[in-house]
Each structure stands twice: as C-alpha cells, then as structure tokens.
Amino acid sequence: MKNIGFLSFGHWSSSAYSQVRSGSDALIQSIELAEAVEDLGADGAYFRVHHFAQQLASPFPLLAAVGARTKRIEIGTAVIDMRYENPLYMAEDAGAADLIAGGRLQLGISRGSPEQVIDGFRYFGYQPSEGETDADMARQHTEMGFAEPNPTPMFPNPPGLLRPEPHSPGLRDRIWWGAGSRATAQWAAEQGLNMMSSTLMTEDTGVPFHELQAEQIRLFRDAWTAAGHEREPRVSVSRSIFALVDDRDRAYFGRGNQEADHVGYLDAQTKAIFGRSYAAEPDELVKDLAKDTAIQAADTLLLTAPNQLGVEYNAHAIESILKYVAPDLGWR
C-alpha cells in the first residue's frame, strides 16, 4: 500500500490554453481538485509555494479552506521556502490550519530553490547574518522557538516559556524537510523531520536518478535509526505520471515516456539531475514504475498536477492512476 496524492504548483496565466486565468482561479480550483480527489479515494492534496510569480504563494489560507471542505485526505505543502518565513508567525498559521483540518496537515518545508527574484527573501525582510548562507538562515528559521512571558500581574501566565498559539498536538511529527541531496536527507533525519524528495537532486553521481534517490532514502532511514527517534519516519517522492487511456491523454502526453534523466543547472552554481517523467498505456506504466527503486522505497507518491488543464482533467488523470495502475503495483 502507498499513499498517493497530487502536488500542484498552482500556475495561472492568460494564455489561450490555460483554464486557470487568475490567482482567484488557481485558489478556487485547488480547493475543488482536493475535494474531487478525496471523492476518488486518493490520499493527499499538496501545494508548492513560490514567491513573486503567478503561482500559489501564501499557503495557509488555502490549506485552511481545503481542510474545511474535506474530511479525510492529507493536506500539505511541498514545500515552503523557509528563507522567507517568520517561524513564530508560521507556527501560528500552521497550528490554526491543522486544527481546522482535524490534524491532517503535512507541513513540508525546505531551504528552497532559486526563485523568480534574486534573493527574494531580502524583500521579505530577511538576510543571512555575516558569515552565514541563505541555507543557514533557512535552517535557523526552522528551529521554531518559545518566548519569555511578561511577568506583570496583567498577564496570568503559567510557569516557563510560552509557545505560539493555537497549538496543534501532533503537528511536530508531521513536519517534512524537502531534501535535494544525500547530505540534507541525513540532516533532516537527525532533526526528526520526515523527508520529501523531489523530481531533482542537486548532485550527480553518474547513476540513474531513481537509484540516486533510493540511496538518499536509505541514508535518511539509516540516519533516523542512528539518531534514536522512536516513531517511524515518512518519505515521499514526486513524479510526473500519466496513463494514456483516452484521446485527451494522448493529445496532451501521447509523445510517450521521457525515458532519460536530464542534467542541468538551477542557477549559475547549482548543478542538478532531473528525474524522468512517465506517460504510457497503463500496462506499460506498470512495468516502468516497478523499476523505479525510489518510488518503491517511499511510502508516499505525489503526482505532479498540470493544474492549468483544469480540475476535471486533473481529477481524471489521477483517477486513471488509482484505477488502472496502482492496483497492479500493489499500491491499492
């Protein structure tokens, strides 16, 4: 069995082909898609966070709305760039969204990747301290803290430091780190964070992407065990997977599988390997996906949603995986 959800970047544009024309469309259709996939029996609705772009950004109003309109599925982020975040304010927002959803929030966070604006986090009021990198700053923002209470009689505080409220019990165990390398996967395990591994890694060892990612997952789990954490960690991977079952599928993705990984650069300094995508008839997909060692090693699979194709098509694409592919792989 495997948890299967979708991951949407929430793009919108005025292009003729887009069914998502505005920020309002992106938000409302995100809620509608979450409702649709819950009805289909999927397990999660996840959203990527980008800034200064025509994509989903501030996630917590959306997550709260999805949580209020659904009953069962996990709702999450994959991921929030912590370079832009006030950790205490974020803890309040996340706690509120999780309480509205009844404890279904899966909070995916990370150091982030290159964005639309150079060092965009500086416009949000954050910059690394002298001698530190933006990655260091992201990890510092991840260490959510407590505050010294006001000792005056006006505030009858309990003893000790105060935490951000509202507090949602159990949310701490549902925080994930988006790891783009083997080293960051081990760091996440040491911190007691679940791991999200995406469709790219910022290192290239000459082996196929799925094998490198499977090694990353193994190193994460080994580091988790060595750290002595008591609970079982969770691991997700993201993939673009489309079953060709009707004429629309063939029109959009009928060129077939992207059979090779790609190596490129995220920016001038950061080399990355990008995993392949999958598009084929269901029986061929089953054969191909059975060879993807990283998918097999993960407990959660996030299907990247081409959200500009609209709610109805994306629900169909996800249903096709659930109905025609997942059972033959033992995921359902």
- 284-325 pLDDT, tens per residue? 999 999 999 999 999 999 999 999 999 999 999 999 999 999
pLDDT value at position 160? 79
CA distance 270 to 46: 26
pLDDT value at position 321? 98
pLDDT value at position 199? 77
SS3 (DSSP) at 34: helix
Please compute the mean of the pLDDT values over residues 170-193 and round it to a whole number: 95
Where are the strands (E) in 48-138, listed by range? 74-77, 80-81, 105-110
pLDDT value at position 202? 82
Q: What is the mean pLDDT of the chain?
A: 92
Please compute the mean of the pLDDT values over residues 63-72 and round it to a whole number: 98
Residue bearing the bigger pLDDT, 92 or 270: 92
- Over pLDDT 70: what percentage of the chain? 92
Does pLDDT of 248 surpass 80? Answer: yes
Please compute the mean of the pLDDT values over residues 269-296 and round it to a whole number: 89
Where are the strands (E) in 121-221, listed by range? 175-178, 194-197, 200-201
Give how far Cα 251 sits from Cα of 46, 242, 244, 246, 247, Å.
26, 12, 9, 9, 6
Work out the pLDDT band at 67, boundaries 50, 70, 90. very high
Provide the CA 230 distance to its chain's centre, in angstroms.
24
pLDDT value at position 267? 62
Give how far Cα 209 sits from Cα of 180, 237, 257, Å.
12, 12, 15
SS3 (DSSP) at 177: strand
Does pLDDT of 112 surpass 90? Answer: no
Phi, psi of 110 (to 5 degrees): -170, 175
CA distance 241 to 264: 21
CA distance 23 to 45: 18
Does pLDDT of 177 surpass 90? Answer: yes
Give how far Cα 258 sits from Cα of 197, 215, 242, 321, Å.
19, 22, 11, 18
pLDDT value at position 157? 73
Please compute the mean of the pLDDT values over residues 65-74 and round it to a whole number: 98
pLDDT value at position 203? 83
Please compute the mean of the pLDDT values over residues 267-275 and round it to a whole number: 68
pLDDT value at position 153? 61
Across-strand partners of 151? none
Does pLDDT of 257 surpass 60? Answer: no
H or E element in which residue 139 lies: helix 134-142
pLDDT value at position 258? 64
Give the residue ranges of DSSP H helices in 23-133: 23-40, 60-69, 87-100
pLDDT value at position 291? 96
Q: Quick one: 62 exposed, middle or buried, by C-beta within 10 A (0-12, 13-18, 19+)? A: buried
Exposure of 108 in the CB half-sphere (CA atoms within 13 A): 29
pLDDT value at position 256? 59
Does pLDDT of 190 surpass 70? Answer: yes
Please compute the mean of the pLDDT values over residues 32-36 and round it to a whole number: 98
H or E element in which residue 135 lies: helix 134-142
User: Would the pTM count as exceeding 0.85?
Assistant: yes
Choose the weakest-confidence range: 41-45, 86-90, 319-323: 86-90
